[in-house]
Amino acid sequence: MSSVVVANIGELVIFEPERPIRHDAAVVLVDGVVQWVGDDADAPPADARVDARGGAVIPGFVDSHSHLVFAGDRAAEFEARMAGRPYMAGGIRSTVAATRAASDDELRTRLTTLVAQARAQGTTTLEIKSGYGLTVADEARALRLAREVTDETTFLGAHVVPAEYASDRGAYVDLVCGDMLAACAPHARWVDVFIDSGAFTVDEARRILLAGRDAGLGLRVHAGQLAADGGVALAVELGAASVDHCTHLTDADVDALADSSTVATLLPLVEFSTRQPYPDARRLLDAGVAIAIATDCNPGSNFSSSMPLALALAVREMGVTPLEALAAATVGGARALRRSDVGQITVGSRGGVVLLDAPSHAWLAYRVGVPLVREVVGGVR
């Protein structure tokens, strides 16, 4: 066992329900898990001491939505989009071809680099989806690799219909629900479907999600990225842990979310990178909907893994305060993963603590683009 005390904390954001913030505080972690939170003057001794220098300390970010197992890049597609070409889901297929052609080591090297970059920006809990293999073997491989770095793995065989099934969508949905699910479920905690006019219909998604649930997986859904597509109602009906994007919502969608345990996960880096209107976080919070903010880091619609930038965009463009945005990026993400052991700083928390070169969490939005994360302490799977 090794213990470390993080002392001299000016502002400690803990996200306990009655008390989100403490001042002049300290935290003790043992083997990466929080064991004590209290006043700095009362801090017990530990094997090591980290000085927060009077600055702010926040929970490790929970990035509940990413796609990090892939090869190649789509910088040319991004340049074309910035020159005026619209975003379409079909670009995913070019990443599928590159990913299938890559070796395990190539995929692993890319994946571990991306995970290290995320941690350097304060992310200590990371969900990672498959979805660039789209064969039984390639989807199972992606999830095996993802499992090497996180327990929050998601089977996304239903990302797009691969080119070889373009004339027989039904056969591909059968494969996803059958042999592919059987090969992937042992490596996955979740099943997800991309509902979009360029991907899967609500009826196809229902079949795939129910099959995943029968295989013991929790449910997540991509819906409402480019249009109000009926996916939110399906996610709520099936009790999905999270419905992600939620950029285009009907009033009925908002009401349904407010009456449910399904989290609305907002992905503002996608709107930034595709030059689209942002989701309305204020409308959701005012309606009583639980929200999360995540990156959706992927090679196509957004290749940023920066939770601080996602948070800043939410503050600047989506009508929430810095504290509301930070909550959505930490405890909200934890809720979207049905986790109570990350996203907060309370005894037993496994998500680590993040020391900022800033006196207040608000600086994450105030000093946008500046690397304020000085050190990440703790955080264990």
Sole window of 9-17, 229-237, 288-296, 350-358 interacting with Zn ion (rule: CB under 5 A): 288-296
CB closest to Zn ion, residue no: 296
Sole window of 9-17, 48-56, 132-140, 291-299 interacting with Zn ion (rule: CB under 5 A): 291-299
Q: Which CB sits closer to Zn ion, 11 or 296?
A: 296
| Cβ(361)–Cβ(325) below 8 Å | no
Sole window of 47-55, 234-242, 296-304, 308-316 interacting with Zn ion (rule: CB under 5 A): 296-304
Torsion angle of C-alpha atoms 197, 132, 305, 201, degrees rounded to 10: 20
Task: List the beta bridge partners of residue 29.
Answer: 4, 34
How far, in Å, CA of 372 to CA of 307, rounded?
Answer: 12
How far, in Å, CA of 182 to CA of 333, rounded?
Answer: 28
* Minimum distance of Zn ion from residue 17's CB (angstroms): 30
Q: Which CB sits closer to Zn ion, 124 or 130?
A: 130
State the alpha helices, DSSP H only, in 148-295: 169-175, 181-184, 202-214, 231-237, 251-258, 268-274, 281-286
* Minimum distance of Zn ion from residue 308's CB (angstroms): 19
* Minimum distance of Zn ion from residue 227's CB (angstroms): 16
Q: Which CB sits closer to Zn ion, 127 or 138?
A: 127
Q: Which CB sits closer to Zn ion, 36 or 303?
A: 303
Burial of 348 (0-12, 13-18, 19+ CB in 10 A): exposed
Q: Which CB sits closer to Zn ion, 152 or 296?
A: 296
Tokens matching residue 67: 């796609």
Sole window of 69-77, 142-150, 206-214, 293-301 interacting with Zn ion (rule: CB under 5 A): 293-301
Tokens matching residue 122: 């304060």
Sole window of 37-45, 138-146, 294-302, 325-333 interacting with Zn ion (rule: CB under 5 A): 294-302
162 SS3 class: coil
Q: Rounded to the nearest 10 degrees, what angle do helices 104-120 and 136-147 cross at?
A: 40
Tokens matching residue 167: 């004339």
Q: Which CB sits closer to Zn ion, 154 or 260?
A: 154
* Minimum distance of Zn ion from residue 273's CB (angstroms): 12
H or E segment and range at residue 336: helix 331-336
Task: List the beta bridge partners of residue 347.
Answer: none
How far, in Å, CA of 269 to CA of 86, rounded?
Answer: 16
* Minimum distance of Zn ion from residue 296's CB (angstroms): 4
* Minimum distance of Zn ion from residue 225's CB (angstroms): 8
Query: Can residue 296 be called a binding residue for Zn ion (CB under 5 A)?
Result: yes
| Cβ(9)–Cβ(40) below 8 Å | yes
* Minimum distance of Zn ion from residue 194's CB (angstroms): 7
Burial of 72 (0-12, 13-18, 19+ CB in 10 A): middle
Q: Which CB sits closer to Zn ion, 305 or 344?
A: 305
Q: Which CB sits closer to Zn ion, 229 or 296?
A: 296
Sole window of 69-77, 290-298, 332-340, 370-378 interacting with Zn ion (rule: CB under 5 A): 290-298
H or E segment and range at residue 93: helix 92-101
* Minimum distance of Zn ion from residue 298's CB (angstroms): 6
Number of residues interacting with Zn ion: please give it, by CB under 5 A.
1
* Minimum distance of Zn ion from residue 302's CB (angstroms): 9
Q: Which CB sits closer to Zn ion, 8 or 153?
A: 153
Q: Which residues lie near Zn ion (CB under 5 A)?
A: 296
